[in-house]
Chain A
Amino acid sequence: AQRVTQPEKLLSVFKGAPVELKCNYSYSGSPELFWYVQYSRQRLQLLLRHISRESIKGFTADLNKGETSFHLKKPFAQEEDSAMYYCALSEWGTSYGKLTFGQGTILTVHP
């Protein structure tokens, strides 16, 4: 069975500092990895997915199959990045809303 681990429940940084939210996964097949974000009083929403290889709001994430990781990075954090972040995995070729989530990391960016 697949599993997603986010080792940090809480992460605090100062504005302008680099930030990295860790995500490790275990899955025997070929996974699709996602980062979802939940801002205060807003719905959970997709931030980025690894197949798109895109940068959203300055965030990037690279899938490292050797280390089974999909860490989320941003070189200069902003206060508006404060939110709950979930790493999620979907099985290749199946329903892409059928997700296995990590425990989530609450990011706080201080002024």
Chain B
Amino acid sequence: DGGITQSPKYLFRKEGQNVTLSCEQNLNHDAMYWYRQDPGQGLRLIYYSQIVNDFQKGDIAEGYSVSREKKESFPLTVTSAQKNPTAFYLCASSIRPSNMNTEAFFGQGTRLTVV
């Protein structure tokens, strides 16, 4: 079954701890993205990667880190420096960054709660 898989679906973290959210895709897509979804604010871009071993900051990268060692994987680490980490996190991918006919495919999301 092709698509984007995010795990876990729900994640609880104690304050001061780092936590890593997994995102895997088997669509052979070049580009991958992380968005944060908060009520009333829509989705905001955290980080994106257009090619393996390269990534760029989005609009709200502070307190987050990523890696792109494999084409299929784009994990997101929420560090203790992120002041308000409780949110719904969405991973997405697209086939080729410069192709106008591409679209972003989304995972089902991970809900992170800091306790």
Contact = CB atoms under 8 A, between A and B. Distances in A.
A95 B108 contact: no
B40 A99 contact: no
Interface residues of B, number: 30
B84 interface: no
Central interface residue in B31, B35, B40, B100, by most chain A CB within 10 Å:
B100
B43 interface: yes
A104 B42 contact: yes
Interface string B67-108: 000000000000000000000001011100111111111111
Contacts of B109: 43
B106 A45 contact: yes
B98 A94 contact: yes
A86 interface: yes
Contacts, number: 72
A11 interface: no
A96 B45 contact: no
A26 to B, nearest CB: 15
A43 B9 CA distance: 13
Contacts of B111: none
Nearest to A86: B42
Contacts of B97: 94-98
A20 interface: no
Interface of A: 4, 6, 9, 32, 34, 36, 43-46, 49, 51-52, 86, 93-104
Interface of B: 31-33, 35, 40-45, 48, 50, 58, 90, 92-94, 97-109
User: Which 5 A-B pairs give the minimum distances between C-beta atoms?
Assistant: A97-B94, A95-B97, A97-B104, A101-B42, A46-B103
11 contacts: A43-B107, A52-B101, A95-B50, A97-B31, A97-B92, A97-B93, A97-B103, A98-B31, A98-B48, A100-B45, A103-B41
